[in-house]
Each structure stands twice: as C-alpha cells, then as structure tokens.
Amino acid sequence: MLSDIIDVLADPADGTLLSGVDDYTRLVSESGHSFDVARQGYVTLAAGAGLRHQGDSMEMVRARETFLSRGHFAPFVEAVAAGVHDALDDAAVPDTARPVIAEIGAGTGYYLSHALDSVEGSRGLGLDISVHAARQLARCHHRVGAVVADVWERLPVRDSSIDVITVVFAPRNAAEFARVLTPGGQAIFLTADRGHLAELRGPLGILDVEEGKIDRLINQAEGHLSPVTEPALIEFPMELDRESIAAQIGMSPSARHIAPAELAARIADLPETMTVTARAHLLRMGRA
C-alpha cells in the first residue's frame, strides 16, 4: 500500500515530502500539490503537463501476466531476487531495517513481489508509466505501493531513500537512480542479450537484440553508477507451446510492429511446442 512507502515519495514538481490525507484517497505535498489516489490503489505522480506517453497497453499487460504466470522466466526471477539479497548484504542492511526495493518499469510486479517475499519486512515501490501495469502493481503484494511516473523525468522519490533498484527489461535513468539510492544502495539490471528468443526471430520476423547492449548500459551510466560485479550471463531453454509464444510476443514491442492477423498466421505455422532460448545479463551497479 502507498502508506508503506510514503516516507520515500516526493512531489514530482519540487521534491517536497508527501503525506496521505482523507484516508489515503489523496497525497498532498508540503508545497500544497494534491494527487488523487485511484480507486485501484495507485497514484499518478507527474508534474506540469503530465505524462508524455502511455507505456504498455492493457493487452500487453495481460499477455505479460499470462506468460509470466506459466513460470517460463523462473530463472530470471530467481536471479533478480538473489541479486537483491547480495545488494542488501553488501550494504550491511540489517534484517530489521524494512529496506525499500524500487522496481522501475515494474509491469505486473512479478519480479518485485518475488523480491519482497524473499526479504522479510521489505517494502516495495512499483513504478511504471502504464496505468494498466499500475493496476496490477497495486495488488501484486501487500507491501507494494504503486506509482505511475515517467522514468525519464525527475523521479517522484526522495534523495538517498532507496536501498535497491531493480530494472528488468525496462528503461533506465542512471542519473536519477544515483540520486535516489542510499549511499550504499545498488541498482540491479536484467537486460536481454543477443540470442534471446533466437529460435523465434526467423519464423516470426522479429528483430534480434542489438550487440553489446550491456556494454552500452555501463557506458551510459558513467559518472552516475559503476558496476560492482561483472555482468552475469543467465541462459536457459524454455519449452513453449504456441499459446506461450503468442503471449511472449504479445508482451513485447513486436506486438506493435506486426499486424495481429499476420502474427497469428505465423504462430499457427510453428510446431506445437518449441525449445526457445532465454538469454540475459544481470548487472549490479552502485553510486559512482
């Protein structure tokens, strides 16, 4: 709930503290700005003209929910949760500290809720620009507060307040991550690598991940974040039926680039089940 993380939230316009009023139906900042809490429990924290784009559609969020609920990405979720533990250990955060884990571009909250389950008493901030994702986020775990915000803007989060940031296949703003992390905090990135879903790319006509993506992440973060570990490669085979393949494509940008009827025809031509490679790098970074 938003009340779990109110102490780390800030007015998106001026960074002043927020508090819940009228039984948490609104958040109000010290400077007097008011933000309505949606019936579904999330709050939109955007300054001025509001958000510039909408993020994942309802259909994409549904496809993501379907795919992830089948457990195909279990090794990814385990690696992220282990990374969160390692980050908290490195910072010597005591078990009693109720650390805050913020997931950026959190989608349905699949990774965040697993991380919260694995760290007793931890609190979660799930941030996404999509209101469809935020609806899921608000109910993904009893210790999550869901916020709609744009990662490319000033994050509606207090300086030095977040113990661990997780970013799974989502956009990154290294300068803002460095600002909101505690001095010993870490950001954990899971980034798709060339070869991810390789077996589907030819038959379905979807683009491969560009070469050297993880190196570019490190370069772009320079001056804000620096690696505390070497990137770890996580690679495993998945047995996917056609429904899972459709859900995987439906949750990705390819869903926007191929007409639905054409995509359905290409999927219908695939074998009933296929072995498909999942491949990504996990990287932990601390403040530079």
Ligand X SMILES: C[S@@+](CC[C@H](N)C(=O)[O-])C[C@H]1O[C@@H](n2cnc3c(N)ncnc32)[C@H](O)[C@@H]1O
Provide the 10 A C-beta neighbour count for residue 117.
12
Rounded least distance, CB 133 to ligand X, Å = 4
33 is in an annotated binding site: yes
Does 168 sit near ligand X (CB under 6 A)?
yes
Rounded least distance, CB 30 to ligand X, Å = 25
Distance CA 197, CA 173 (A): 26
Joined together, the tokens standing for residue 258 give 């191929």
Rounded least distance, CB 110 to ligand X, Å = 5
For tokens 């047995």, what's the residue?
239
Three-state SS string over 82-115 comes to: HHHHHHHHHCCCCHHHCCEEEEECCCCCHHHHHH
Q: Which of 71, 121, 171, 205 binds ligand X (CB under 6 A)?
A: 171
Joined together, the tokens standing for residue 127 give 């941030």
Joined together, the tokens standing for residue 101 give 């884990």
Burial class of residue 260 (count of CB atoms within 10 Å of its CB; 0-12, 13-18, 19+): exposed
Which letter does DSSP use for residue 230 in this model?
A: P
182 is in an annotated binding site: no
Which letter does DSSP use for residue 233 in this model?
A: E
* Phi, then psi, of 167 in degrees rounded to 5: -135, 110
The interface with ligand X within residues 227-266 (CB under 6 A) comprises none
Provide the 10 A C-beta neighbour count for residue 166.
25
109 is in an annotated binding site: yes
236 is in an annotated binding site: no
Q: Which is nearer to ligand X, 19 or 277 (CB)?
A: 277
The interface with ligand X within residues 92-131 (CB under 6 A) comprises 105-108, 110-111, 128-130
224 is in an annotated binding site: no
The interface with ligand X within residues 137-156 (CB under 6 A) comprises 150-152
E-strand ranges in 109-178 read: 123-128, 144-148, 162-168
Site string (44-73) toward ligand X, x via CB under 6 A: -----------xx-------x---------
Rounded least distance, CB 281 to ligand X, Å = 14
Does 280 sit near ligand X (CB under 6 A)?
no
- Residues in binding site for S-adenosyl-L-methionine: 73, 108-109, 196
- Residues in binding site for Zn(2+): 33
- Residues in binding site: 33, 73, 108-109, 196
Interface contacts to ligand X, rule CB under 6 A: 55-56, 64, 105-108, 110-111, 128-130, 133, 150-152, 168-171
